[in-house]
Amino acid sequence: MPPSTITVGVLALQGGVVEHIALLNRASASYPSVTFHFLEVRTPEQLSLCDALIIPGGESTTMAIVARRLGLLEPLREFVKINNKPVWGTCAGLVMLAEEASATKQGGQELIGGLDVRVLRNKFGTQVQSFVADLNLDFLGEGEGPFRGVFIRAPVVEEVIDGDGKVKVLGTVKKPGEEEDIVAVRQGNVFGTSFHPELTGDVRVHAWWLGNVVEALGQGGEGKGLVVGKGKGDAGKVY
């Protein structure tokens, strides 16, 4: 049985913290048997209270520097890679959760890791080249229709580096005249998206992720990973 109370943190160093919490509150209505607490996380002590975590967008180099100064970087790595708690990173959060990153600033940047991928920062250019695209996200379920993805200085996954199938590609985007890019991936307890679901009115990705959190914690919590959504006839296998 899932726990009756779950605390979900949103790393509050940069980005759409308020927007994520607003959609989480709406999404939580899908799980009336669970009481959710949503917490802005700025300290290791606040992180220790969390059962799951969202790392929002922003500027990944700055986020890493601030996390280091606040004593959060090592606790975040422990949260993701040792305690194996459910984590979702959007845009810069995806960069932070990658094991490798390209096009970093001079001197590189520190990463949390957890996803065996290499990401390319700012794949689509500057702020003025931001765009919106319809995404077919099968994990949301059949017949749900496309999800409107908001891409702002977005990264993409340019290479899966694990080589043994642990990383699951959950979403792609293709701009006219360009090759298809990977924009949503999952590996065990870690989920990452290049786009910003929190900047839409569409609650579906947040509801799907909260469902995975409930399922993962209900099956023993640490080390159980995320559950694949039940779209395309998937029975909800735990990886």
- Quick one: pLDDT band at residue 71, thresholds 50, 70, 90? very high
Q: From CA 85, how far away is CA 135, in angstroms rounded? A: 27
Tell me the residue ranges of DSSP E strands in the chain.
Answer: 5-11, 35-41, 52-55, 87-90, 98-102, 115-120, 131-135, 147-151, 156-160, 168-173, 181-187, 190-193
- Helix 17-27 vs helix 204-218: angle between axes, to the nearest 10 degrees? 70
User: Active site residue: 19, 59, 158, 198, which one?
Assistant: 198
pLDDT (tens digit, 9 = 90+) per residue, 92-101? 999 999 999 9
Residue recorded with tokens 């993701």: 80
pLDDT at site 175: 84
Which residue type does 206 have? H
Please tell me which residue, 229 or 30, carries the higher pLDDT value: 30
Give me the amino acid identity at 45. E
User: Is 78 marked active-site?
Assistant: no
Decide if 196 is catalytic: yes
Q: Find, among 169, 18, 195, the residue nearest to 91 by Cα.
A: 195
Say which range, 12-21, 47-56, 169-178, has the weakest mean pLDDT: 169-178
- pLDDT band for 12, please (50, 70, 90 cuts): very high
Phi-psi region of 212 (alpha: psi -120 to 50; beta: other; left: phi over 0): alpha
User: Can 59 be counted among the known catalytic residues?
Assistant: no
Quote the pLDDT of residue 131: 86
3-state helix, strand, coil in the chain (%, to 5): 30, 30, 40
* pLDDT tens string 105-156: 655 689 999 999 999 987 776 776 788 999 999 999 877 789 999 999 899 9
- Compute the Cα dihedral for 109, 112, 116, 121 and give only its sign: negative
pLDDT at position 208 is 97
Longest dimension (CA), the chain: 49
Which listed residue (19, 59, 158, 196) is catalytic? Answer: 196
Higher pLDDT, 164 or 46: 46
pLDDT at 4: 84
pLDDT at 236 over 60: no
Instruction: Please compute, for residue 24, the number of CA atoms within 13 A of its CA located in the half-sphere on the CB side.
Output: 26
Q: Taking the CA atoms of 131, 211, 207 and 144 in sequence, report the sign of the dihedral they define.
A: positive
| Cβ atoms < 10 Å from Cβ of 90 | 27
Which of 19, 20, 59, 91 does the annotation list as catalytic?
91
Q: In the predicted model, is pLDDT for residue 33 greater than 70?
A: yes
Nearest to 71 by CA among 93, 104, 96, 46: 46
**What is the token pair recorded at 178?**
């360009």
CB 10 within 8 A of CB 210: no
Q: How confident is the model at residue 219, as a pLDDT? A: 54
